Amino acid sequence: MTAHSNGQLKQEIIKIYNTINQEMYVVGVSQQRAEILGDKILILARHRRIPVLALLDKLAPETAQLADLVLVRENKRRLAAAVESLLGLKVLAILKDYDPESDLAATVVVCASPISSGF
């Protein structure tokens, strides 16, 4: 991987995050922002709730929560794999929370070492 500026790295992260969402949900995110904080990447995003999950929220909230949990786990797995393979960063953990009422998600990618702009 070639050296990137901090801005280029953020754009790559945004692209990876959105691509994974498109693969999983057929739609990407409507807004997102990435920040680099030492050995962490913070991603804040506004998602578009897919209609079937919005319907589950109304008809069977417990089932919707379970579906969200399963989907978040898979999203984290894919994001870790992509960050490692495409950006060459070693991922220790990904912490993610999604709020279906506001369609906001916060994701923290914890890397093994500080991320420099020329990583």
Radius of gyration for the alpha carbons in the chain, expressed in angstroms and rounded:
15
Structure tokens at 70: 């399963």
Structure tokens at 119: 């990583």
**By mean pLDDT, which of 3-12, 17-26, 31-40, 61-70 is the weakest?**
3-12
| Whole-number Å distance between alpha carbons of 90 and 9 | 15
Q: What is the pLDDT of residues 43-102, one digit of tens each?
A: 999 988 888 888 998 999 999 999 989 999 999 999 999 999 999 999 999 999 988 889
Residue 56: predicted pLDDT: 92
Say whether pLDDT at 3 is over 90.
no
Q: What's CA 86's distance to the chain center, in Å? A: 15
> What's the pTM?
0.88
Confidence of residue 117 (pLDDT cuts 50, 70, 90): low
